[in-house]
Amino acid sequence: MCKKLTMFFICFIFIVFLGREGSVSEISFHEIPLDRLVIISDVIVMARKLPGFTKTKEIPIAENSKEYPPFTTITYNFMVIEELSRVEGIRNLNGKPINVCAANYAQELKLHKQYYLQGIGESPVYLKYPSTADFDKADTLILFLCRLDQKDFVFAVENAYEAVSRKSEILKLIKELK
């Protein structure tokens, strides 16, 4: 499913090359509805934030890491309470901790490298879900994820989480669409 999202994302992105000056334009967002979010997600889980919920990681972008700033990303740590949906090939996540990276992790890393190593600035358009949940205040959320690798996930789009109070609505959509 994430391959479909990637193809959609690639087709949807408007890239503006700004020359060798390395200027970066603004990031734009295109909102998607809940039913589309359900369709593009590899995994949908209800999960609780773990102690030490966020972890900041710096990734060097070149061998000479002092010359170029590293790419900084945040990983979110959750404990899966209940798995609502998953595509074939992903292990059962019930009762297991998971690491979740930002939705556009791979694209942001690529843009960071292009900006600092090649002097190219781009203006991407990212997909975003208009969540009703307060990510900072809620301890338990429904997460819409795509697989990053064998053990880590990324949010399917920006704000790919929802309030637990909408669980029955989401389960109904899963039943209809997956």
Residue 172 in this model has a pLDDT that exceeds 70: yes
> Does the structure show a pLDDT above 80 at 19?
no
Residue 128, helix vs strand vs coil: strand
Least confident of 10-14, 27-31, 85-89, 113-117: 10-14
Break the chain into its structural domains and give their ranges.
2-177
Q: Are strands 28-31 and 125-128 parallel, antiparallel or unpaired?
A: parallel
Neighbours of 32 (CB within 10 A): 20
Q: What is the per-residue pLDDT across 60-106, written as a single tens digit (0 to 9) for each?
A: 888 766 788 888 889 999 999 999 999 988 889 999 999 999 998 78
Amino acid at 52: G
**For the segment 137-169, what is each residue's pLDDT rounded down to a tens digit?**
999 999 999 998 877 899 999 999 999 999 999
User: Is the model more confident about 79 or about 12?
Assistant: 79
Who has greater pLDDT, 125 or 41? 41
Q: What gap in Å lies between CA 15 and CA 39, rounded to an integer?
A: 26
DSSP H/E element including 122:
none
